[in-house]
Amino acid sequence: MKKQKKAFPGLNFENEENSFKSIEVIQKEFFRKTVKTVLYILILLAIYIIYSLITIRPELFENTFIRLINHSYFSNLTIEWILFSTTTFLFVYFLKITYLKYTPSLISFIKYESKNLGFDFKKEFNSGQIFLLLNSISISILIYIDLGWIKFEDTLGSGFFIFTFSALFYDKFIIQLKDDFYILFNFHFKIGKPKKDGSNLVGIRLTSNRLSPKNDKCGRIVHSKIAKRRWLSRRKISKFNPYLHFYEFSTPLNFQKQFLNIVLALTEWQNYYGSRILCFDARIPLNKIESKDNFLDYFQFFSNFK
Amino acid sequence: MSISFEEFIQKYDIDNFTKILELKGQEKVKFYNEFIEIIKSISRIFDKLTNIASIRGGQVLMSLAKLEKSETVINKTDIKRSLNIDRLEKLLHAFDYLEENNYINIEKKTSKFHVIKLNEKDNPDFTLFREIIQKFWISPEEEEARVNKWRDQK
């Protein structure tokens, strides 16, 4: 693939001063995005409260223009659903952005760096767009119900409305390497005021696709050997995750190097997982596997892989 | 004293697997001392690399050491390419720092063409450093080529 190189005017982490400025830019963007979401939530909550009052205690609005409108316009499923679903979506979205911490400039930076290596960094689906699509379908159904054109008594069918919230699980940033291999991105930085001591380090957590189930002994051996050799992060996302993944941590400065490290770990995984050379001892309990008599030198295997 | 990894291997025939390595008396002491000298030198290399103030300084040194194996004339752009860096400006501070600290020699042939060399004369540990890097280190350029080759395989 031909590289498209052009000067990137955004973030710069090449020296302390520029890093400090870049972190400031990222934090400002993050703050702006968060405030905007909170503002939308507050506006929607205010509408929600007013709407609830109109439907529950209409006498409070006796002297306003609202009493001129036919009350039946208000009490329908469509309005209730729009308010409920949008507020819930925004609230969970707010929690998600405070956890995922991605900002436009950081995304552009990673996009540029990965393009230099010949890879496409992309957002896998957009939760906002998917939510709009699913919610539009839900609203259309509800309008028909409100108009009495269809009757909705099937409780199983209500699952579709809950399905609308599945949009919240998207917004993943990935680089697809091959059909079965990809790298997932998570961003990390402190929200507080940027500090000169470097404690506001911007971090990028890289996670590979699922490799094998944790109870697969061969997978555990190959995973452990590759992770140790490449100094991959041994951080566990969750003890309950039944699958093995490779993890790597990088800063914007060493992003390329760390990214290549985890990708090369995947190339080794593809070559050695299931190979009889590394897995011939998989039947022996793991705590006894380190015995040199039963295990060939790891360096020998990987020195052949060039 | 600058110690060479290659000379050490050759001196004791370590890479000759048909011959038994048998060391006795003074010879064993000499072997041990030379081995310890290599480890000490590696420790000093760690110390030097971790104390380079310029962010990309260590990478530039490694790239230069690697390129000296295949190139006779190395310029700044060769190092930029080997490190997979998009702009030379990102490395300028490192070149200045390394030159100031006598880690590298820069010979200015023209205003734009500068030839760079590791300063092994003032830094004897760089002999071992160069040997290790040339033998075992994979540059970002090589890693990228390897990754792209793997990706293009069906």
Total domain count for chain A?
2
**pLDDT computed for residue B112 by the predictor:** 79
Q: Are A50 and A40 found together in one domain? A: yes
Q: Are A306 and A162 found together in one domain? A: no
* Chain A CB within 8 Å of residue B87 CB: yes
Residue contact B56–A14, C-beta within 8 A? yes
**Residues near A102 by beta carbon (within 8 Å), at least 6 away in sequence:** A173, A187
**B79 vs B99: CA distance, rounded Å:** 15
Q: Which two tokens mark A67?
A: 């009493």
Q: What is the pLDDT along chain A (306 residues), one digit of tens a residue?
A: 444 444 455 787 877 777 888 888 888 888 888 898 889 888 888 888 888 777 777 777 776 766 666 656 555 677 777 888 888 888 888 887 777 778 888 889 999 989 988 899 888 767 777 777 877 887 777 777 777 676 666 555 566 666 666 666 667 888 999 888 999 998 887 766 666 555 567 889 999 999 999 888 888 888 988 999 899 987 766 778 899 999 999 988 889 999 999 999 999 998 888 666 667 655 555 454 444 443 444 445 555 444
Residue contact A118–B148, C-beta within 8 A? yes
A203: left (phi over 0), alpha (psi -120 to 50) or beta: beta
Tell me the one-letter amino acid at A24. Answer: E
Chain A nearest-CA distance from B110, in A, is 26
Residue contact A116–B84, C-beta within 8 A? yes
Residue contact B86–A260, C-beta within 8 A? no
For residues B88 and B81, is the Cβ–Cβ distance under 8 A?
no
- Mutation pick from A11, A12, A14, A117 vs chain B, by most beta carbons of B within 10 Å, is A14
Token match 């190189």: residue? Answer: A5
Closest chain B CA to residue A269: B150
Q: Which two tokens mark B121?
A: 């004369």
Chain A hits for B86, CB-CB cut-off 8 Å, are 5, 8, 116
Q: Compare CB distances from A253 to B55, B89, B147 and report the shortest one's residue.
A: B55
Please give the residue range of the domain that contains residue A272: 108-124+172-306
Chain B nearest-CA distance from A98, in A, is 30
Q: In B2-153, which ranges are continuous DSSP H helix? A: 5-11, 25-50, 57-70, 76-82, 89-100, 125-136, 140-152
**pLDDT computed for residue A241 by the predictor:** 86
Q: Which two tokens mark B114?
A: 């500068």
Q: Domain boundaries in chain B?
A: 5-140
Residue contact B146–A267, C-beta within 8 A? yes
**pLDDT computed for residue A5 by the predictor:** 47
- Starting at the edge strand found earlier in the chain, the sheet holding A172-176 runs A121-124, A172-176, A182-188, A203-208, A247-250
**B6 vs B40: CA distance, rounded Å:** 16
Q: Compare CB distances from A116 to B56, B86, B143 and report the shortest one's residue.
A: B86
Chain A nearest-CA distance from B96, in A, is 14
Q: Are A240 and A298 found together in one domain? A: yes
For residues A278 and A220, is the Cβ–Cβ distance under 8 A?
no
Q: Are A142 and A257 found together in one domain? A: no
For residues B114 and B102, is the Cβ–Cβ distance under 8 A?
no
Whether the pTM exceeds 0.80: the reply is: no
Q: Residue A283: give its domain's CATH number.
A: 3.30.1460
**pLDDT computed for residue A4 by the predictor:** 47
**pLDDT computed for residue A66 by the predictor:** 64
For residues A53 and A60, is the Cβ–Cβ distance under 8 A?
yes
Residue contact A257–B140, C-beta within 8 A? yes
Chain B hits for A305, CB-CB cut-off 8 Å, are none
Inside any domain, residue A5: no
Q: What CATH number does the domain located at B5-140 have?
A: 1.10.10.10
Residues of chain B with pLDDT under 70: 1-2
Chain B nearest-CA distance from A264, in A, is 6
Task: Kindly indicate whether the ipTM for this predicted assembly is greater than 0.90, answering yes or no.
Answer: no
Closest chain A CA to residue B89: A14
Inside any domain, residue A80: yes
Q: Are A164 and A89 found together in one domain? A: yes
